[in-house]
Amino acid sequence: SLHMESWRAEMKEEINRINQVLPDIDRRQKTDEIKQWMDSVIDKIDHYKAEHHRYVKEAVTLLELALWKAKLDEKDENAAAGRTKKKAKLDAESVRKEKRVTCGADTVIRNILPFLKLE
């Protein structure tokens, strides 16, 4: 993804920065400079992890909605073909809720999520 490429480029730049800065610093200040640099790198990593988590959460939500929509469309196709089962006067709201539960999103997401997590 574009985000991962830009994150990677920024991290490479940040990692290489210390090699450009250290030669010009007095040897007594190098330890402090390295500590500040390490803190900066760790802060960036934490920021990118949080941003990645936000993107994964958004993607999972979109996937769940897409699966639910597909299940609703499947119901509509069955109704159009006249193959629906007679239900005891369930209103549209309860049918939509039932389709959300039976769309299989939890199973699909559970199997996809490991590929989206940072390890």
pLDDT at 96 over 80: no
Lowest pLDDT segment from 7-16, 45-54, 72-81, 109-118? 72-81
Q: How many domains does the chain have?
A: 1
pLDDT at 38 over 90: yes
Residue burial 61-95, b: 16+ Cβ < 10 Å; e: rest: eebbeebbeebeeebeeeeeeeeeeeeeeeeeeee
What distance in Å separates the CA atoms of residue 67 and residue 113, rounded to the nearest whole number?
15
Lowest pLDDT segment from 25-29, 47-51, 97-101, 107-111? 97-101
What distance in Å separates the CA atoms of residue 24 and residue 66, rounded to the nearest whole number?
55
103, burial (CB in 10 Å: exposed 0-12, middle 13-18, buried 19+): buried
Q: Are 15 and 41 in contact (CB under 8 A)?
A: yes
Q: Which domain holds residue 76?
A: 2-116
Compute the average pLDDT of residues 82-87: 50
pLDDT at 89 over 60: no
pLDDT at 64 over 80: yes
